[in-house]
């Protein structure tokens, strides 16, 4: 896992702030400088967590609130650790692998660069939309638990009505045989997961041997041409999953009958040459071992031994194997359609993060801005202006009080104003005409703003745009006026004349520093790009 991602996850975990790994990955990996401290800071800001990057001495560090993020230099590589405790001359932290370590002060000072990111949470610190995400997760987990409960109930019921209950040794051996099938199916799931996401950190941690000289390498075994059949259309991973899926379901459907166990025992014996060939190939051909393969080999050999010593072999009809063959083909056919969907989803996520990383680069935006339409006439004195003296960007928003996209853009731009990133000028494309329903709310906005209280103006705009239904009468009652509305007609006509001169054809139309926002960008993108 990327160091900045794992560091952010561990920090939020220690701070007891709700998070989802996907949201953190999407934000950090799409950041123009995803391996920098800035990526962590910008991501924590979205959780409404205050941060302060400082360069201090160790004497000052012991006075700082913990946990905090520190920068270290190891083998000329810059990494981020999460500092947890300082007790006397011992320092405890989570390293780049999220493993807890405790070292002496002298060892710590040798690797620490002096850079420290201080963190402060509040009651508002949380991931955007975390309540819905957690609710969806709880709902899915409840469905999963219910499904498992029903499956276990069905298995127990089927087993109690099977022939095996008449004999205690038979009960134990049949249960053991079923557990082997479940274990094999579980490993089969991981093998298919490996096919579509072999570089997943979880899989790599299990598959790797821990050092370069290790002979454990799942990539070398599962990625070899010998692990693919029929021009890569059928892999050994899929065959393993199909084998355990079909045999387990077949066993359950037939209520653990003697004939079904006999058929499956014979099938286990038939698969023995494949197991031997796999062991030979790993040991003598590529001289590398796959942990998944080893587990599957042990499971099948144990199946064979159990079948032999428990004397599972009984008579059966050849016709009974037709259902087993059907069950065996189901995963193979399904995987043909499912695998491309999973691969496309993974590729889409990578492309989305890559595209967002480019779009989030302010240099890219500025390069595209100078090539887009430029304002011919500056709208000085028009509309409603909310200025920030330190803002690098001046945004003009041309909108309509009844425009849905304008309402969605409003809180985003307000957030940028509050963060001090932009100055905002809001213009309205309306007519000073009683027949234009836009005129009344626009007049009201301008009348409120004319009193000079910018906070009240912002609150009024929030009340209007954030309301589910735009009810002008209710809005007017909340902000009563005494004749000020009639004084706004000239301002409305001046804005309309400007919109006509600049050929404004839709709302919202956004201009940044005098240039129209490129069509490749949405207002939502500005939260990340206007740093």
Q: What is the DSSP string of 74-102?
A: ETTEEEEEEEEEEETTEEEEE-TTS-EEE
**Residue range 1-9: mean pLDDT, rounded:** 89
The answer to whether 209 and 217 are in contact (CB under 8 A) is: yes
Structure tokens at 259: 């004939």
Residue 103's SS3 state is: strand
The answer to whether 218 and 165 are in contact (CB under 8 A) is: no
Distances (CA, A) of 130 to 19, 137, 408, 528: 7, 10, 20, 19
Classify 69 in phi/psi space as left (phi over 0), alpha (psi -120 to 50) or beta: beta
HEC string of 356-372 equals HHHHCCHHHHHHHHCCC
The string of pLDDT tens digits covering residues 22-57 is 899 888 988 888 889 999 999 999 899 999 999 999
The string of pLDDT tens digits covering residues 462-476 is 999 998 888 999 999
pLDDT value of residue 155: 67
Compute how many other C-beta atoms are within 10 angstroms of the C-beta atom of residue 530. Answer: 18
| Residue 423 pLDDT > 80 | yes
In the DSSP assignment, the letter for residue 210 is: S
Q: Locate tokens 């309309």: which residue?
A: 496
| Residue 167 pLDDT > 60 | no
In the DSSP assignment, the letter for residue 405 is: H
pLDDT value of residue 226: 62
Exposure letters 418-446 (e unless 16+ CB within 10 A, then b): eeebbbbbbbbbbebeeeeebbbbbbbbb
**Residue range 198-204: mean pLDDT, rounded:** 73
| Residue 211 pLDDT > 60 | no
Residue 284 exposed, middle or buried by CB count within 10 Å (0-12, 13-18, 19+): exposed
The answer to whether 15 and 47 are in contact (CB under 8 A) is: no
Residues 6+ apart with CB under 8 A from 11: 40, 44, 67, 69, 82, 119
Residue 208 exposed, middle or buried by CB count within 10 Å (0-12, 13-18, 19+): middle
Nearest CA to 360 out of 69, 141, 34, 22 is that of 34
Residue 449's SS3 state is: helix
The string of pLDDT tens digits covering residues 298-351 is 999 999 998 888 777 666 666 667 888 899 999 989 998 888 888 888 888 878
Q: Locate tokens 């050999």: which residue?
A: 301
pLDDT band, very low/low/confident/very high, at 486 (cuts 50, 70, 90): confident
Structure tokens at 421: 């990133």
The model carries a pTM of: 0.66
Element of type H or E holding 527: helix 526-529
The string of pLDDT tens digits covering residues 256-289 is 777 888 888 888 888 888 888 888 888 888 888 8
Q: Locate tokens 């500025």: which residue?
A: 366
């Amino acid at each position: 896992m990327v160091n900045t991602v794992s560091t952010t996850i561990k920090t939020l975990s220690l701070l007891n702030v709700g998070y989802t790994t996907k949201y953190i990955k999407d934000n950090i990996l799409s950041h123009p400088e995803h391996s920098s401290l800035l990526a962590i800071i910008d991501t924590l800001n979205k959780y409404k967590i205050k941060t302060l990057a400082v360069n201090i001495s160790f004497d000052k560090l012991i006075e700082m609130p913990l946990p905090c993020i520190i920068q270290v230099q190891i083998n000329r590589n810059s990494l981020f650790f999460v500092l947890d405790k300082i007790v006397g001359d011992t320092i405890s932290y989570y390293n780049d692998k999220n493993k807890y370590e405790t070292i002496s002060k002298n060892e710590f000072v040798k690797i620490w660069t002096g850079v420290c990111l201080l963190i402060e949470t509040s009651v508002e610190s949380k991931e955007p939309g975390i309540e819905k995400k957690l609710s969806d997760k709880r709902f899915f987990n409840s469905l999963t638990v219910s499904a498992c409960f029903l499956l276990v109930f069905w298995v127990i019921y089927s087993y109690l009505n099977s022939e095996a209950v008449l004999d205690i040794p038979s009960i134990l051996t049949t249960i053991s045989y079923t557990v082997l099938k479940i274990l094999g199916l579980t490993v089969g799931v991981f093998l298919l997961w490996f096919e579509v996401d072999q570089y997943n950190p979880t899989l790599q941690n299990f598959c790797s041997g821990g050092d370069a000289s290790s002979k454990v390498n799942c990539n070398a075994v599962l990625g070899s041409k010998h692990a693919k059949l029929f021009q890569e259309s059928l892999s050994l991973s899929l065959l393993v999953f199909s084998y355990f899926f079909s045999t387990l379901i077949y066993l359950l459907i037939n209520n653990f009958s003697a004939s079904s166990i006999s058929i499956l025992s014979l099938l286990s014996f038939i698969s023995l040459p494949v197991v031997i060939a796999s062991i030979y190939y790993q040991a003598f051909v590529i001289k590398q071992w796959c942990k998944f393969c080893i587990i599957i080999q042990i499971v099948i050999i144990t199946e064979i031994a159990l079948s032999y010593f428990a004397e599972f072999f009984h008579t059966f009809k050849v016709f009974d194997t037709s259902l087993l063959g059907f069950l065996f083909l189901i995963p193979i056919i399904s995987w043909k359609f499912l695998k491309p969907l999973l691969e496309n989803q993974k590729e889409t996520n990578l492309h989305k993060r890559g595209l967002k990383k480019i779009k989030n680069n302010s240099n890219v935006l500025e390069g595209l801005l100078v090539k887009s339409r430029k304002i011919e006439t500056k709208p000085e004195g028009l509309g409603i202006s909310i200025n920030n003296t330190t803002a690098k960007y001046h945004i003009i928003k041309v909108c309509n009080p009844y425009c849905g996209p304008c309402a969605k853009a409003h809180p985003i731009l307000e957030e940028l104003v509050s963060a001090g990133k932009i100055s905002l000028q809001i213009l309205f494309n309306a007519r000073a005409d009683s027949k234009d329903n836009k005129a009344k709310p626009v007049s009201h906005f301008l009348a409120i703003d004319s009193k000079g209280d910018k906070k009240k103006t912002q609150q009024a705009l929030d009340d209007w745009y954030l309301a589910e239904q735009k009810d002008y009468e209710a809005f007017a009652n909340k902000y009563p006026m005494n004749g000020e509305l009639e004084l706004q007609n000239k301002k409305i006509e001046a804005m309309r004349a400007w919109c006509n001169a600049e050929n404004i054809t839709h709302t919202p139309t956004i201009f940044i520093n005098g240039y129209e926002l490129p069509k490749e960008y949405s207002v939502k993108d500005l939260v990340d790009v206007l740093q």
